[in-house]
Amino acid sequence: MKKRELICIGCPMGCALTVELEGNEVVSVTGNTCKRGEDYARKEVTNPTRIVTSTVKVANGVLAAVSVKTEKDIPKGRIFDCVRALKDVTVTAPVHIGDVIMKDVAGTGVNVIATKDVGI
């Protein structure tokens, strides 16, 4: 039996959660005050994911950089692969919100899209 300690992010309470795992199966969640704590703990220990945000360089634009994000959340363990893949990317203005900046970033199957308009 494995134990994982987490802090719930559902509300300002920040309950200290303890998750008991048998292999990859969640056996129990304790320390939570509400259902949201249990849901969060189950997801967080089996498949934690995050939206990753960053910037890439822009050529010929009114701004030097454009902000970007992963279109969906990606596995937490792939965050650094994602930002590394974006390191040397330069896009050419104009860029529009929602434009795909990189397809299938770091093999996650998720696109990186622009989150800001940058004109010429």
Instruction: Determine if residue 5 is left, alpha or beta; phi over 0 gives left, psi from -120 to 50 gives alpha, anything else beta.
Output: beta
Question: Closest Cα partner for 89 from 59, 50, 109?
Answer: 59
Q: Which of 16, 28, 42, 64 binds another protein (CB under 8 A)?
A: 64
Contact flag: residue 36 with another protein (CB under 8 A): no
Contact of 44 with 36, CB cutoff 8 Å: no
User: Which among 23-31, 79-87, 103-111 is the span making contact with another protein, rule CB under 8 A?
Assistant: 79-87
* CB 27, min distance to another protein, A: 22
Q: Which of 51, 92, 107, 120 binds another protein (CB under 8 A)?
A: 51
User: Which among 22-30, 103-111, 112-120 is the span making contact with another protein, rule CB under 8 A?
Assistant: 112-120
* CB 69, min distance to another protein, A: 6
Could you give the dihedral angle defined by the CA atoms of residues 31, 11, 68 and 62, in that order, rounded to the nearest 10 degrees? -150
User: Which among 22-30, 45-53, 101-109 is the span making contact with another protein, rule CB under 8 A?
Assistant: 45-53
Could you give the dihedral angle defined by the CA atoms of residues 52, 58, 61 and 65, in that order, rounded to the nearest 10 degrees? 50
Question: Closest Cα partner for 79 from 89, 69, 92, 88?
Answer: 69
Which residues lie near another protein (CB under 8 A)?
6-9, 11-14, 33, 50-55, 57, 63-65, 67-69, 76, 79-80, 83, 97, 115-117
